[in-house]
Structure 1
């Protein structure tokens, strides 16, 4: 059975560290602690005094002064690892943690998970070929030497970089290693850890190289594991659930995230708010609990992006010149059907095709697979369709040799509606207002990745009001825009009432509009 030795890097909140150590070792696991040498000595003594009687806790023999992006973080990790290897001969796995991490599964689940497969869990992507580094330096992290901390010694850091760059003082990467990159939060088997320590003792050239690279905690272990362990025994993922904001900062979890965290396919989560006392209490109890079954839905990342996106509705800084100076044509009519339930809008368009000769195109700005004629490539991708929206619509008018065209759009496409309504052409909007049952909203959440088959009911209950409110908000924004020629049909209206709007929208005779409004199963889910 798996026995985990946790490698804990921490620098603050001694009370929380004591509780974390007691919780994780209470079920027979181990912990090696490195407490930052920059932190107050009194805090370190408090931790030592509280945990010295715990046989499952040990401490790094040397405390390093750690700084973000420095080799000191790797040195601290190695110091704690060596202490754990020596103190805990029965440990089968070594799991890197910070003081902000907490278990989101029980020890029973974690041990069973690690027993299922003989593998190391560490993100390990090709440094130069992958897109793991989104912005900033890439090659510069490795080929130049970095002796100073960019955050605390910025002038020296960049001065040394500029001197090396000006003089061409680059260096070669050790020839027999392939640099990899990934998250610093890993879980490695004992054999792998022993291989790494042996490699560190033998290969001083590699140690010197990484000691002056920038942010080596994202490359050192990742590179060595890939160098020493067969690829088939590496699962390139972290077992710690963490997300980053748009600003590159770790997302913090609070008391109301308990159900969300338990449903993610990870063993630990980072980072837990220091003030989330109830969440910490519940997670602390969870690790020692037996017999719990976890329903894994794993929708955390997509759900976070959805919720954070509310209130951050982007706008282009300015229209592009070819769109500003172009028009669909004064004599043309663009008829836009707006509906959140795409299948309802598509049924309406199918009926319009049967009753009229007006060309109808479905969700061309929302569905990549929307059937469009070959227009020289401008229709090939969703990105091109949005960038060249007016040019695309002009080409469609020309292709169908018509002055009237019906298209479908999602209510979220307010920027498109505003753009087309500013055109010299006549633009009419017909919004279809539908009713949204809880079952429909749950299905919608699953289709867009906000929930899964195993998402807990409690999470869905919290999520549904947000989704319902989001759909109402999209519709309200369209009405608040006060578009000319805006019309609406509603699921709760009678066909006779809806026919009035259809008649004005399509310019049909009353009888034709009524036939369309009476479309069988128009609003059915």
Structure 2
């Protein structure tokens, strides 16, 4: 019969940790706890005292200060694993959990499941070929060395990255490893765990490599398991049920999710709300029971996508007032000015307002302090404006009592442009292509945090080509999107050359378009 040694990494709520440990060990399983060294010593002592009489509980020999994305998370896991291997010789499986995880099946069901399936459960997809990483650094996680935490030491993190990039200080992945990636919530057999610990002791070069990779808890175990274990003995999935929103945040489960969780093809779920006391109690009793009659429908993720999708198109269980209409209106026309230099777009916008009667709002999806009318709270923050962008625009059309409106967007907002072009309304886009001097690019680098006032000029000069390339890439993406009504004016062009594009974009006379093209100091920085 399988016996599970749980590897628990936690950093808060000692009472919940005590309850979780008691529930998981009540039927003979074991647990090794690593409690973050950043947490108060008194909280750790409270946990140790409460669990001191439980022979199925042990603690990592070292308390480490852990940080998201750091090697410290892997180091803490290894410390807890080593403690579990030594303390629980009868443990057949090692299951990684957090303080927010709870069992959604009985221990009897979990043990029988593991007995029937002699394999390791860990997500392990090819780092380079898979699309597991959706945004942000990819190969940069590996080929550069990361000593600083991006969340708590942002300036040092990016200074280190750009310095290495500028100097070409890249490194190779160890030759015999295929880097894999996946969720950190795994369940591994004892022989696999012992092979990993032996490998870690013997291959100091691999350990040095992973110590300075970024977010190694998503690659270290995933890579080593695939390196050490035959593929037919690995199932590339996690036994922990978890979901993420479109914004990359984990979905939290509450008291009314009990039946849904039991139906999922998993043994545990993450993450359970701290306030869901009834759910925690019911799941605790469930794990200690002999129940085995679980009906696996596995509809959780599809149901979540369906319900949140209904909300996006104004068909939630109960509509919010701004979600009763989800289109701008077939008869309306939205005019978008896309420009990287916001001051240039704002000058043109002011000239358009002076020479036409088209209402206009500047960078409402980019600037928090954009002047806007009171629309009942939907305009209160950039997050709300972006999330409910179509509803917001419809309300602006209604507020200005107009079927035409102009807004400005940064050239990076390709997703917003595509969304508006997919609406039933008519959408037109004017891209203003500006020249970017070295001084402007340096200022842009400082505004977005890539450089500071004390950054050496040599270092800044190294990143300027990359910044310019990013600006060009945004313009290329707009061109490649094949928008049906796309017009361009250019800083290098004469007013006579720019006027036809303005006339077509705004549907105004040639005379008005020429006046707008001749706006004084339009492109001056």
Q: Same fold per TM (> 0.5)?
A: yes
Counterpart of 2:93 in structure 1 is 93
Distance in 1 of aligned mates of 2:304 and 2:53: 42
Corresponding residue of 2:234: 234
CA distance in 1, matches of 2:140, 2:256: 41
In the alignment, the residues of structure 1 paired with residue 327 and residue 244 of structure 2 have an alpha-carbon distance, to the nearest angstrom, of: 23
1:208 is aligned to 2:199? no
Q: CA offsets per residue over residues 470-516 of structure 1, 9 Å max, x none?
A: xxxxxxxxxxxxxxxxxxxxxxxxxxxxxxxxxxxxxxxxxxxxxxx
Q: Corresponding residue for 2:267?
A: 267
5 Å matches for 1:108-127? 108-127=108-127
**Residue in 2 aligned with 1:246?**
246
In structure 1, what is the equivalent of residue 27 of structure 2? 27
Task: Give the Cα–Cα distance (whole angstroms) in 1 for the partners of residues 30 and 132 of structure 2.
Answer: 32
Q: Distance in 2 between matches of 1:145 and 1:315?
A: 47
Aligned to 1:152: 152
In 1, distance between residues paired with 2:283 and 2:42?
A: 28
Instruction: Provide the rounded CA distance (Å) in 1 between the counterparts of 2:208 and 2:334.
Output: 50
Partner of 2:130: 130
Structure 2 CA distance for partners of 1:162 and 1:307, relative to 1, 3 Å = same
Measure, in 2, the Cα distance between the counterparts of 1:54 and 1:176.
43
Going from structure 1 to structure 2, the CA distance change for 1:302 and 1:56 (only over 3 Å counts) comes to same
Question: Matches of 2:52 and 2:97 in 1, distance apart?
Answer: 20
- Aligned residue in 1 for 2:224: 224
- In structure 2, the residue matched to 1:456 is none
The one-character-per-residue Cα deviations of 1:24-62 (angstroms, maximum 9, x if unpaired) are 000000000000000000000000000011000000000
1:188 matched to 2:188? The reply is yes
Partner Cα separation in structure 1 for residue 214 and residue 151 of structure 2: 12
Q: Which residue of 2 aligns with 1:424?
A: none
> Structure 1 residue 287 and structure 2 residue 299: aligned?
no
| Residues 1:141 and 2:141 aligned together | yes
Tell me how far apart the structure 2 counterparts of residues 295 and 311 of structure 1 sit (CA, whole Å): 28
Aligned equivalent of 2:66: 66
Q: 1: distance between equivalents of 2:98 and 2:10?
A: 6
Q: 1:315 deviation in Å?
A: 6.0
**How far did residue 240 of structure 1 move?**
0.2
CA displacement 1:49-85 (0-9 Å, x = unmatched): 0001100000000011000000000000000000000
Q: 1:301 to 1:319 in 2, by over 3 A?
A: farther
SS in structure 1 of the partner of residue 95 of structure 2: strand
1:143-178, Cα deviation, whole Å (9 max, x unpaired): 000000000000000000010000000001000000
Which residue number in structure 2 is paired with residue 357 of structure 1? none
Retained in 1: the 8 A contact 2:122–2:182? yes
Task: Tell me the equivalent position of 2:410.
Answer: none
Aligned equivalents of 1:173 and 1:312: distance in 2? 43
Task: Give me the whole-angstrom Cα distance separating, in 2, the residues matched to 1:212 and 1:53.
Answer: 39
Match of 1:309 in 2: 309
What residue number does 1:258 align with? 258
Cα 1:169–1:55 change in 2 (3 A) is same
2-structure distance, mates of 1:221, 1:7: 14
| Distance (whole Å) between structure 2 residues aligned to residue 40 and residue 315 of structure 1 | 52
How far off is 1:291 after superposition?
Answer: 3.2
Q: Which runs of 5+ in 1 are unaligned?
A: 322-386, 391-412, 421-525
1:132 Cα deviation from its structure 2 partner:
0.2
CA deviation profile, 1:392-419 (whole Å, cap 9, x unmatched): xxxxxxxxxxxxxxxxxxxxx9x55x67
C-alpha separation in 2, matches of 1:310 and 1:186? 33
Which string of whole-angstrom CA distances, capped at 9 and with x for unpartnered residues, describes residues 204-247 of structure 1?
00000000000000000000000000000000000000001111
Note closer, same or farther for the CA distance 1:53–1:311 as it changes in structure 2 (3 Å cut).
Answer: same
Structure 2 contact 241–267 (Cα < 8 Å) conserved: yes
State the SS of the aligned residue for 1:9: strand
What secondary structure does 1:97 align onto? strand
* 1:15 alignment counterpart: 15
- 1:435-474 matches, within 5 Å, as none
Q: Work out which of the two has the higher radius of gyration on C-alpha atoms and give 1 or 2.
A: 1
After superposition, give the CA deviation of every residue in 1:71-115 in whole Å (9 maximum; x if it has no partner).
Answer: 000000000000000000000000000000000000011001101
| CA distance in structure 1 between the aligned counterparts of 2:270 and 2:296, rounded to whole angstroms | 18
TM-score of the two chains, using structure 1 as the length reference: 0.61
**Partner residue, 1:46:** 46
Change (3 A) 1:57 1:315: farther
2:178 equivalent to 1:178? yes
Shift of 1:117: 1.3
Contact 2:334 2:426 in 1 (8 A): no
The answer (yes or no) to whether the contact 2:240–2:268 under 8 Å persists in 1 is yes
Q: What is the aligned residue count?
A: 331
Asked if the contact 2:124/2:180 (under 8 Å) is kept, the reply is yes
| Alignment partner, residue 377 of structure 1 | none
Q: Secondary structure at the match of 1:310?
A: helix
Residues in 1 aligned to 2:311 and 2:151: alpha-carbon distance in whole angstroms? 32
| Shift in alpha-carbon separation, 1:315–1:200, aligned structure 2, 3 A | farther
Distance 2:149 2:255 in 1: 35
